[in-house]
Amino acid sequence: MNVAFYAPLKAPTAETPSGDRLISRLLISALKDAGHDVELASTFRSYDGKGDARRQRRLKRLGERLAGRIVRRLENRKPDVWFTYHLYHKAPDWIGPIVARALAIPYVVAEASFAPKQEHGPWAPGHAAVGQTLGEISLVIGLTETDRTCVEPHLSAKSAYLPLPSFLDTTSYMEARACRRDHRRRLVTAEGLNPDVPWLLTVAMMRPGDKTESYEILAQALTVLGDRDWQLLVVGDGATRAQVKKLFGAMAERVVWLGCQQSDVLAGIYAASDIFVWPAVKETPGMCFLEAAAAGVPVVGSDGFGVPDVVVNETTGLLARHLDVADFADKVSRLLDNASVRHEMGANAVEYVRKHHDIRTVGNILNSALVGLVS
C-alpha cells in the first residue's frame, strides 16, 4: 500500500525535537514495518501560535495552493491513502481533504482534536476548518480518550473511529535497562552524581506555556520534600531555559542540567535513573512516560489529560491530582521512601509497555485497520 503522509503541526523532518515529531516518526516507522511505502507529501507547517487572523488566512491560501500542486504531482501515481497526523485548531489541514477528494482516496487522521470553546476565539477559522474536515474523514485514529468525546459526534456515518494506544519502539530502552549499572557509572563519572542517592529524572523541552508551568509545579513540589535525599537530572532545552533554571535556584546544587540528548544516550539516562517525575500540565499522550516505563523506571505524573492512558496508577507509577503541588510531592515522597516499591513498579512498567505499547503490537492494529479500509 502506498501512503501519503502529512503532519501540519510539525513535519517529521523538523530539526527541533518534540513529542509531535517523535510520534510522526513512530507512525511512519509502524507503517513501513507493516510493509507499506510511505511518502512525506509535504513539509508545509500550518501552525499559528499567536491567534493572528492575517497569518491564518495566508496559511490557508498557501495550503490550498500546495494542495493543487500535490494533486497534479500524484495524479499518475495515486497513493492508496492520505494519512494526516495531528489535526487541531492551531494547525488545521488545508491540504489533505483537497487531495483526498481530488484523487478519490480515503482520508485518514491520527490524533484529531476539536475544542468547542475555540468557536469564537482567535483561532475560530482553524476551529471551523477542523469541524468541516472531521466530516470528510474515512478513519480517525484516536491516541487518547480525551479527544474522542468531542471528535466522534462530528464524524459522518461513513467514518470509523479506531482507538490506538500510544506506542514506541521499546528496543533501545530495554537494552539500556540491561546495562543500567554501566550507564549509572558513566553518569557518576561525567556529572559527579552520588550513586547512593535516588536519582529523579525529567525529560521535557523548555518553552512557554504548559511545559514551563509543568517545570514550575515540579520545582514547587521538590521544595516540599524537605531534607530527603535526592538528585534531579533534567534533559531538555529551549526558549525558557533561563526561566526554568531560575525556578530551581534554591536547590541548584541538587540539579544537573543535561541539555538535549540523542535518543541512544537518552535511553541510558532513563535506565540509570530511579524515578521519572513530570507534572504534565495538559499533556497528551505523554511519550516521556512510555520511554521511562520501557527503561524500567517508575513514574510520578498527573491524572489529567492523556497521562492515565499510558500510566497504570499504583502499578507502573503514581498519578497525582492534576495541578496539585502537594499531592505531587507526596507521590514522589512515597517512591523515595520505598526502594522495593520502586523496583516492583519498574518491573511492572517494562512488562506493561512491551505488551500494550510496543511499536510491533500497535503496528499490527494500525495495519489491519488501513488494509480493511482500502479493501
Q: Is the per-residue pLDDT at 46 higher than 90?
A: yes
For residue 208, the domain's CATH number is: 3.40.50.2000
- Whether residue 151 is found in the same domain as residue 243: no
Percent of the chain with pLDDT over 90: 88
- pLDDT at res. 283: 82
- Whether residue 161 is found in the same domain as residue 237: no
pLDDT 10s digits, 230-288: 999 999 999 999 999 999 999 999 999 999 999 889 999 999 999 999 999 988 778 89
Q: Is the per-residue pLDDT at 301 higher than 80?
A: yes
Nine-digit cell at 259?
A: 541539555
| Structural domains in the chain (count) | 2
- Whether residue 55 is found in the same domain as residue 186: no
Q: How confident is the model at residue 18 (pLDDT cuts 50, 70, 90)?
A: confident
Measured distance CA(78)–CA(224) in Å, rounded: 59
Alpha helices (H) along 10-157 = 19-33, 53-74, 96-103, 124-134, 145-151
Instruction: List, in order, residues 6 or more apart from 83 with CB less than 8 Å away.
Output: 3, 4, 5, 6, 27, 31, 108, 109, 110
- Whether residue 219 is found in the same domain as residue 364: no
Q: Is the per-residue pLDDT at 186 higher than 80?
A: yes
Residue pair 169/152 in contact by the 8 Å Cβ criterion = no
- Whether residue 163 is found in the same domain as residue 176: no
- Whether residue 279 is found in the same domain as residue 364: no
- pLDDT at res. 5: 98
- pLDDT at res. 145: 78
- Whether residue 42 is found in the same domain as residue 75: yes
The whole domain housing 363 covers 2-167+358-374
- Whether residue 94 is found in the same domain as residue 212: no
- Whether residue 92 is found in the same domain as residue 199: no
- pLDDT at res. 189: 97
pLDDT 10s digits, 98-141: 999 999 999 999 999 998 899 999 999 999 999 999 999 999 99
Rounded (10°) angle between helices 124-134 and 53-74: 30
Instruction: Tell me the β-bridge partners of 160.
Output: 139
- pLDDT at res. 138: 96
- Whether residue 6 is found in the same domain as residue 131: yes
Q: How confident is the model at residue 16 (pLDDT cuts 50, 70, 90)?
A: confident
Q: Is the per-residue pLDDT at 216 higher than 80?
A: yes
Average pLDDT over residues 208-212: 95
Mean pLDDT of the chain: 95
Rounded (10°) angle between helices 263-272 and 180-191: 100
- Whether residue 186 is found in the same domain as residue 264: yes
Report the candidate in 203, 111, 210, 211 with the shortest Cα–Cα distance to residue 166: 111
- pLDDT at res. 147: 83
Report the candidate in 335, 226, 324, 342 with the shortest Cα–Cα distance to residue 280: 324
Average pLDDT over residues 323-343: 97
SS3 state at 37:
strand
Phi and psi at residue 162, to the nearest 5°: -120, 110
User: CA–CA distance from 115 to each of 50, 120, 123, 305 (Å)?
Assistant: 17, 11, 11, 14
- Whether residue 22 is found in the same domain as residue 142: yes
- pLDDT at res. 19: 82
- pLDDT at res. 227: 83
Q: Is the per-residue pLDDT at 148 higher than 80?
A: yes
- pLDDT at res. 375: 82
pLDDT 10s digits, 28-37: 999 999 999 9
